[in-house]
Chain A
Amino acid sequence: MLRRIDIIAHTNRWHAKTGAVMLLCAGLMLCALCLPPVAAAPFVLCAAWLAALRGARVPVRAFAKAFVIPMGFLVTGAAVLCVSVAWDGGLRIAFTHEGARVALQTSCRAAAALSVTLLYAFTSPVSQTLALLRRFRAPVALVEFMGITYRTIFLLDESRESIIGAQQNRLGYRNARCTFRSTGLAAAALFARAHARAARLERGLQSRCYDNTLAVMLPSSETTARDCAFAAAIPALIAAAVIILSTHV
């Protein structure tokens, strides 16, 4: 999942329009959180899925898979909200209509908000998000720290896969005891590798006059005023439609 989302974020049709996508997602997220959830969720879901699949051409399978897994947790969570527990001469668990109403509202809100987050994750490369954060004057130490972490994650993930693959080939995960030992060994090896790699990178950068700033080339932004207007109009239309529906139905 880690590399799949990142690769799609870098290759989709909107990968250079992060500013407009951020505006669209912020608007859709406000609709999902602030409007009546049962009325707003279908609109937000449709807008997010259409934007991702038709607009940015994100592969349906990858987007649907990323959506379905958290929805499994949501179903379990909704079931918990439907029941009420009380101690009345013994433990009593009962289905309540109030709980069911809250569960429905929460499920609608969560499904809509999840679609919006996935739209942003699948269409906006993290490097573009960091550039935007820099422009919004987020603390420099935090943005640099995030940038270094982001670049390290993929190298470490590759190492993790190769270590675990080698351990699996040697039956390192055949039972719980072996799994525990292999996981511990993998974690320790990863720590040593991460630090050895960081030290090598530090030495390499120092020898190239490193002044504690990592200047990297970013693809230029292709966001136009028209994109921004479009991104602001969609949530505004959804909000208007939901408010009209809520007052008339």
Chain B
Amino acid sequence: MHIMEGYLPVTHAIGWTAATVPFLGYGIKKLGAQLRKHPENRLLLGASTGFVFVLSSLKIPSVTGSCSHPTGIGFGTTLFGPGIMFVSGFVVLLFQALLLAHGGLTTLGANTFSMAIVGGLVAWGVYRAGATLRLPFALSVFLAAMLSDLATYVTTSLQLALAFPDPAGGFAASAVKFLSIFALTQIPLAIIEGLLSVFVMNLLRAHAAQQLAALSIPAAQSSTKTNP
């Protein structure tokens, strides 16, 4: 779920962009370091971001009768970690605005913050917690993808509530309003995205372990541990 072009007042658009910049700077630094260390991964990382973009254009059935699409952030974070995913998420959102007219340029900061930063950090935290608690790998991936999706939806609702407080009830009433409207589609969607991520990850570990190993990514390490 993205906030559409021009929907946020100018001060909010600038504020969310400013909040995104340090995370993006960290991601770019990490990306530069990764490319200096492993220049051969340049094309693989580009292809992986292209994959997240195309993944986000795959339609999945939604409870409201319409179709929706996965964000791919939870899945991507379990593959690449949060730092690079900040940059990947930003690039995916930028291309969605320029090539699909989805989201927007003035709301790019707010959308990157909710989807790539909050979503990415939640996915990474849950995935690491799952590994620490020795949860089954599939359960960790499911929870990471689902909670990342839910965190994105909660952050977007709070961003909207902050921009448009309710005339009577203020920020709290507005947050409840946006959260309950989006909950209709986003909660089932988050569960579906979690299940889909597990399904795809299992297929990849079974049939593309070599490609996962080429990226030296967390999922590949778990794959090697479980399938020696």
Using CB atoms and an 8 Å cutoff, list the residues of chain A in contact with chain B.
1-2, 5-6, 29, 32-34, 66-67, 69-70, 73-74, 77, 80-81, 83-87, 94, 96, 98-99, 102, 106, 109-114, 117-118, 120-121, 126, 129, 139-142, 144-153, 155-157, 160, 176, 179-181, 183-188, 190-192, 194-199, 201-202, 205, 212
Find A149's partner among B46, B102, B164 (CB 8 Å cutoff): B46
Is B139 on the interface with A (CB-CB < 8 A)?
no
State A32–B45 Cα separation when bound (angstroms).
Answer: 36
Interface residues of B in 27-72 (CB under 8 A from A): 28, 31-32, 35, 39-40, 42-51, 53-55, 57-61
**Chain B residues whose CB sits within 8 angstroms of the CB of A120 once the complex forms:** 98, 105
**Chain A residues whose CB sits within 8 angstroms of the CB of B10 once the complex forms:** 33-34
State A33–B104 Cα separation when bound (angstroms).
Answer: 13
State A116–B29 Cα separation when bound (angstroms).
Answer: 32
6 other contacts beyond A5-B101, A148-B42, A153-B54, with CB at 8 A cut-off? A77-B4, A141-B31, A149-B53, A191-B204, A198-B47, A202-B42
Q: Which residue of B lies closest to A200 (CB)?
A: B43
**Chain A residues whose CB sits within 8 angstroms of the CB of B18 once the complex forms:** none
State A153–B188 Cα separation when bound (angstroms).
Answer: 28
Mostly helix, strand, loop or mixed at chain B's interface? helix
**Chain B residues whose CB sits within 8 angstroms of the CB of A83 once the complex forms:** 177
Find B200's partner among A73, A187, A195 (CB 8 Å cutoff): A187
**Chain A residues whose CB sits within 8 angstroms of the CB of B44 once the complex forms:** 195, 198-199, 202
Contact A198 B43 (CB under 8 A): yes
Interface residues of B in 146-189 (CB under 8 A from A): 164, 166-169, 173, 176-178, 181
Contact B61 A180 (CB under 8 A): yes
